Amino acid sequence: MRIVVTGGAGFIGSSVCGALVRRGDEVVCIDNFNDYYVTSSPDGRRFASRKMNNIASLRDDPSFHLQTRDITDRLAMEATWPRAVDAVVHLAARAGVRASFDDVSIYEQTNVSGTSDVLEIAFAHSVRRFIIASSSSVYGTNEKVPFSEDDPTERTISPYAITKKRMEQDCRAFHDAHPETRMTLLRFFTVYGPRGRTDMAPYRIVDRCSRGAPFERNGDGTILRDFTHVSDIVDGLMRAIDTPFPFETINLGNNQPIALNQFIAIAELIVGAKLRIEQKNAQQGDVPITYADISKAQRLLGWQPATTIEQGIANLVEWYNRNPEP
């Protein structure tokens, strides 16, 4: 198949591109290489080359094509849309919960308008199969756990979550207008592992622990997260590409939430060092728990997360040690 992956140089996207190329698909990676990794950390200049490095091993592969492009630049997207595309995996987004409070409009432009533009342009070029990244954040502060796909999404508490919810609604409307499309929305739950996003706790914990630098922990560390290893997310995504439904929304989560403090304790054991915790107030936008009901993914995709938290953190540490950043 010939597949467009938007956001293909990012954390999840680069792993998806690699997996698709390895199994023989042709991939067109569209990414604007924005400076979010640089601006979202105090020492962010260390990450200036991270996205290019994520796809470095693919650059010489004849099945991999890179288009450095902004999905919100509609004219350029229309003018350069690749020919004969079978499916779009749409991952490009502004993805940080906390940063979304500082620049709501870039989140709306990218996650809401940008997604609509991608759908419309791809559809006009005869693409009918779409796999789109949504987020567990749409469940907000729901108290009923685990979160299942039919649960209400009224209690979102960050601009990021609101944009993902609006994106989901727009996708549904798009499908209603074009029922011949095949569309799967995947709600990812706290993804971690090799190439981990530099603003997320898993990467920051391993990085700070390895360098002896302080880790700013927001709150007391009892928040529960359904940490899901990136290889399991890629597996679910590939199954979704290969199993087109008219329209489905499916959780991809580990189904075993643990406290942030437990993640820290396991990381400390694997790194072999104690993390220096700098205590900060709880962060606006952080929900107390994420916990995926995955019975739908099991039933429809035959998907089951396979990576234990210990193995997943070991994978992240091993990758971190092999890829030193200044």
**Binding residues for ligand NAD, per CB under 6 A?**
7, 9-13, 30-34, 36, 51, 70-72, 91-95, 110, 114, 133, 135, 188, 190-191, 197
Nearer to ligand NAD, 82 or 273 (CB): 82
Say how many C-beta atoms besides its own lie within 10 A of residue 273's C-beta: 14
| Closest residue to ligand NAD, based on beta-carbon distance | 10
Q: Which residues make beta-bridge pairs with 182? A: 129
Nearer to ligand NAD, 197 or 296 (CB): 197
Q: How far apart, in Å, do the first and last CA atoms of the chain sit?
A: 38
Q: Which helix (H) or strand (E) holds 310?
A: helix 309-322
Nearer to ligand NAD, 50 or 129 (CB): 50
Say how many C-beta atoms besides its own lie within 10 A of residue 34's C-beta: 16
Please, what's the largest Cα pairwise distance for the chain? 55
**Token reading at 204:** 């920051």
192 is catalytic: no
What number of CA atoms fall less than 13 Å from residue 313's CA on the CB side?
A: 23
Q: Shortest approach of ligand NAD to residue 272 CB, angstroms?
A: 26
CA–chain centroid gap for 112, Å, is 16
Reference 162, options 114, 100, 72; nearest CA is 100
Among 160, 192, 203, 320, which one carries the catalytic annotation? Answer: 160
Q: What is residue 292's DSSP assignment?
A: B
Q: Shortest approach of ligand NAD to residue 261 CB, angstroms?
A: 19
How far are the Cα atoms of 69, 123, 142, 228 from residue 29, in angstroms, in the given order? 9, 18, 35, 24
Q: Shortest approach of ligand NAD to residue 263 CB, angstroms?
A: 13
Nearer to ligand NAD, 10 or 194 (CB): 10
Q: Which residues make beta-bridge pairs with 252? A: 188
Q: Shortest approach of ligand NAD to residue 36 CB, angstroms?
A: 6
Nearer to ligand NAD, 209 or 233 (CB): 233
Q: Shortest approach of ligand NAD to residue 111 CB, angstroms?
A: 7
Q: How far apart are CA 119 and CA 131, in angstroms?
A: 11
Q: Shortest approach of ligand NAD to residue 219 CB, angstroms?
A: 18
Nearer to ligand NAD, 73 or 273 (CB): 73
Q: In this structure, which amino acid lies at residue 70?
A: D
Q: Which residues are catalytic?
A: 160
